[in-house]
Structure 1
Amino acid sequence: MYKLLLVDDDTEVLEVNKKFFEEKNCKVSVCSKASCAEEMVESVNPDCILLDVMMPEIDGYTLCRRIRKITNVPILFLSGKISEDDKIEGFEAGADDYIEKPYSLREVYVRIVANIRRNAKTVPQKSSMIIDLDPFYIDKEQHKFFYGNEEIPISNKEYELILFLANNANKEISFEEIGIYLWGSYIETDRRNVMVNVSRLRKKILDQTGVDNLIETVWSKGYKLVHK
């Protein structure tokens, strides 16, 4: 689930955009006053920010420069100002993308995802402690599992499970191998415990990201984490 912050003085536009992105399983915060946007950035901690350019009080370019001082998350302009100079000013202000109005919300969403994923690759500082499963990654130092910048809350046992599968990505792992890794021993009746833990982990991944094919079932044998 991505967290988005939409900043636009047009409340009707905010309402339409908010509804669309929420249908994409995003958590959306809106701000109709540029003067309040900086505070919302700090309180919401969004994964991506969408800005209008022409707003009263503070224009989008100025706001973008201010926001850049407190966060490095992607900033996308959605603007009716479409001259070459307008776009250059937007990028010089710190934007990652500049989308002309009228726009397709489907295209905007794809650009949001692309920018978040690109930004996520620059987040980890200790590469030896990161398992990159783009767009997922595992932080072994923090014992956490992420989709882009968004943490997927999982239990300790689920963390051990995803770590084991990730360390053996694209390999078929048997129920027995998983059971021994998780509990130190295995008997045939433990297969049910393995299946339950995998099912719970899959459900959390699906509910938060919409991805349902990260962990594949290997019929009658076990599972495989698929990473291309």
Structure 2
Amino acid sequence: MTKLLMIDDDIEVLKINKKFFEEKNCLVEVADVAIKGLQLAKTFNPDCILLDVMIPDLDGFSLCREIRKITDVPILFLSGKVSEDDKIEGFESGADDYIEKPYSLRELYARIQVNIRRHTRTNRLKQESMTINLNPFFVDIENHKLMYGNEEIALSNKEYDLILFLAQNIGKEITFEEIGYRLWGTYIETDRRNVMVNMSRLRKKIESQTGIDNLIETVWAKGYKLVRLKN
């Protein structure tokens, strides 16, 4: 169910719009003053915000900037102020769309859906870029975690750096020297032992928690390779 927040000082407009969107199976909250709108943006967690420019206690552009500090959901201005400067200020304040009054509610609903889809797709791509899928494992780059399904495998910083390096080069043979440089920024032959110790600890943690012992292969006398597991 789409959650909409509408902020407008025109009570009649809020009533008409609320009725229309609820008939579209939306969950709607309304505010006729900026301070209430800002509070609802924090607590209601809307999927999209419809915002008028002319609000008595705080203009819509300033309110938009405040809302942008707490959420990145689509914000659509609905305004009778239609000059080029008004529209530019609306977009510069953080809005995703600027719709002139009067408007068609059917078109407005379509624009809401388009903006929500775009936002969802952008967030999904952003999330995908911050993870490496090693089904059934995945590396959460943003939070520095190795996950097995919904379970975290607790790793030291070096163990995490090691699995991340291997995951970024899945299927490729990585030498002891390459690992040494990645983990410590330097490498001499005696560092091979440190690489092997960290690898041993990483493998043991993975196996003890998941029972999987073949995620990382040893490349004899050379290094290691992370492989895709067969389903």
Q: Same fold (TM over 0.5)?
A: yes
Q: Over residues 99-149 of structure 1, what are the superposed CA-to-partner deviations in whole Å (9 max), with x where a residue is unaligned?
A: 0000000000000000000000122313666xxxxxxxxxx966xxxxxxx
Counterpart in the other structure of 1:97: 97
Over 3 Å counting, the alpha-carbon distance change for 1:27 and 1:93 in structure 2 is same
TM-score (norm 2): 0.55
Counterpart in the other structure of 1:84: 84
CA distance in 1, matches of 2:38, 2:51: 12
Alignment of 1:159-174 (within 5 A): none
Q: Radius of gyration: which is bigger? A: 2
Q: Percent of pairs identical after alignment?
A: 65
CA distance in 2, matches of 1:13, 1:94: 23
Q: Which amino acid aligns with 1:79?
A: S
Alignment of 1:137-176 (within 5 A): none
Q: Displacement of 1:39 after TM fit? A: 1.0
Aligned-CA RMSD value: 1.8
Counterpart in the other structure of 1:12: 12
Counterpart in the other structure of 2:42: 42
Over 3 Å counting, the alpha-carbon distance change for 1:12 and 1:116 in structure 2 is same
Matched residues, number: 133
- Tell whether 2:88 aligns with 1:65: no
Q: Which has the higher contact order (CA 8 A, sep 6+)?
A: 1
CA distance in 2, matches of 1:128, 1:9: 47
| Structure 1 gap segments, 5+ residues each | 130-139, 143-228
Q: Displacement of 1:64 after TM fit? A: 0.2
TM-score (norm 1): 0.56
Over 3 Å counting, the alpha-carbon distance change for 1:141 and 1:15 in structure 2 is farther
Counterpart in the other structure of 2:114: 114
CA distance in 1, matches of 2:84, 2:53: 14
Over 3 Å counting, the alpha-carbon distance change for 1:141 and 1:5 in structure 2 is farther
